[in-house]
Amino acid sequence: MLEALSRYIATEIKKADPDGPTSVEVMEYALGIKITEVSSILMVAIIAWMTGHFLGSLLALVTIMFVRRFSGGAHFSNLTFCVCFTTAICVTIPLVSLNLSTILIINACSVLVFLVYAPNHFIYIHKTNNHKYYKTVCVLICAVNFFVQSHIICLSLAIQAFSILPLWKGGERKWIRNWREL
């Protein structure tokens, strides 16, 4: 569904500016990412408000989105499924209660995964000069949670750490130089 929406918008933009430098495919890809992000935020906010766990669910979403920026992770092939999965995870995390020792153990496991596998962007679009610091950012965020001891941040980090493990099809890193290679 979200793919069709991004395709429709990209096609309409191309119709309005047929001589524009950007292809429909590139616009569709970029729009798909933005629509997915906005849809995830809206869905989590609405469902979290309805369940009474608004701040906790938003904290889970922000943690996952922020760490994912630096750690990478597996992707679903369907944008709509991605939004549904993200929403389900983020509204469920605040409902799970953990004791302190469990938080510390899960957090330590997340640190180890990030130390070994981050960043694991299954497909890199652009490798930046700051790329070498991405692992450090992920580990520091986990380290901060040893002091904050938030079960929401802990579970969000654990789920994100799980997504970077090379268990998924296409788990090897691929470097993409231009959009035609997608």
- Alpha-carbon distance of 73 to 81, in angstroms, equals 16
pTM, two decimal places = 0.84
Give residue 125's pLDDT: 54
- Alpha-carbon distance of 88 to 123, in angstroms, equals 25
Taking only the tens place, the pLDDT of each residue in 84-116 is 999 999 999 999 999 999 999 999 999 999 999
What does pLDDT average to over the chain?
A: 87
Residue with tokens 């580990």: 139
In contact, 152 and 56? CB cutoff 8 Å: yes
Percent of the chain topping pLDDT 70: 88
Taking only the tens place, the pLDDT of each residue in 155-179 is 999 999 999 998 865 544 444 443 3
Q: Which helix (H) or strand (E) holds 124?
A: strand 123-124
- Alpha-carbon distance of 88 to 81, in angstroms, equals 10
Burial class for 70, CB neighbours closer than 10 Å (0-12, 13-18, 19+): buried
Q: Which ranges constitute the DSSP H helices of 52-181?
A: 54-71, 79-92, 100-117, 134-148, 151-164
Q: Which two tokens stand for residue 152?
A: 């929401």
Nearest to 110 by CA among 155, 175, 55, 54: 155
Give residue 177's pLDDT: 42
